């Protein structure tokens, strides 16, 4: 069984969702320190041909606090309205905007809960079952090395195959994982594109952009456009 572990991000890029959809169990790595200037609370969308960053405030955020100890601010009306302005003419706006705005304005502002809601709502929209849990609820030795923590989480979930994002090639080696009975692979996204209502394609935007411009069938195709290496 394949397992992946990643920090909770709010409507991140397509490759993150490829990782979620490509494993039998996805673990939100929320018992590690908060990452400033990362993708936990922000991403980018396309607004009239220009890349626009959206960022949800996280009161009290610090690299000395764990993700599971923090919550998003409820002040997101500007972001929600910005998405309406950016995508009102996109072909899937009517089908996507209501539930995206519902996620962003959700009452429970816990970072992990809200990010999990965003991921699950996306896959529910696609009729694609996923299994998601949070690392902060698991019982394992958190004083181990980074690789050993991931191996422990994988084995706790009954997995024997750990899948990491491609950037992990600089951090983890297959021999370390294999020595503990876990296969290690890396997800390598293929180069893809889709119509954004303009001549030039802008990659690496929030999944919101994909959802607004693509049919459900096309989104499913994009989610499978990767290789395990």
pLDDT in tens, 99-132: 999 999 999 999 999 999 999 999 999 999 999 9
Examine the pLDDT at 42 and tell me if it is beyond 90.
yes
Examine the pLDDT at 145 and tell me if it is beyond 90.
yes
pLDDT tens digits for range 10-33: 999 999 999 999 999 999 999 999
Environment class of residue 151 by beta-carbon count within 10 Å: exposed (0-12), middle (13-18) or buried (19+)? buried
Query: Which residues contact residue 175 at a Cβ distance below 8 angstroms, ignoring those fewer than 6 apart?
Result: none
With both helix axes pointing from N to C terminus, report the angle between 77-87 and 93-104 in degrees, rounded to the nearest 10: 170
pLDDT of residue 37: 84
- Phi-psi group of 205: left, alpha or beta (phi > 0 → left; psi -120 to 50 → alpha; rest → beta): beta
**What whole-number distance in Å separates Cα of residue 19 and Cα of residue 17?**
5
Residue with tokens 């084995």: 155
């Amino acid at each position: 069984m394949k397992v992946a572990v990643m920090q909770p991000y709010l409507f991140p890029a397509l490759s993150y969702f490829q990782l979620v959809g490509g494993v039998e169990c996805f673990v939100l790595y929320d018992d590690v320190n908060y990452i400033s200037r990362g993708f936990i609370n922000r991403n980018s969308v396309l607004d009239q041909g220009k890349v626009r960053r959206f960022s949800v405030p996280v009161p009290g955020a610090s690299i000395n606090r764990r993700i599971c100890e923090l919550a998003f601010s409820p002040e997101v009306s500007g972001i929600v309205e910005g998405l309406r302005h950016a995508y009102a003419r996109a072909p899937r706006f009517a089908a996507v905007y209501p539930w995206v705005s519902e996620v962003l304005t959700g009452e429970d502002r816990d970072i992990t809960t809200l990010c999990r809601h965003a991921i699950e709502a996306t896959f529910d929209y696609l009729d694609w079952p996923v299994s998601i849990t949070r690392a902060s609820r698991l019982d394992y030795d958190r004083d181990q090395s980074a690789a050993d923590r991931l191996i422990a989480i994988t084995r706790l979930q009954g997995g024997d195959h750990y899948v990491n994002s491609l950037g992990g090639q600089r951090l983890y080696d297959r021999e370390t994982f294999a020595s503990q009975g876990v296969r290690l692979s890396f997800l390598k996204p293929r180069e893809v594109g889709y119509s954004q209502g303009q001549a030039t394609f802008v990659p690496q935007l929030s999944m919101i952009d994909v959802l607004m411009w693509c049919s459900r069938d096309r989104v499913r195709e994009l989610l499978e456009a990767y290789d395990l290496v």
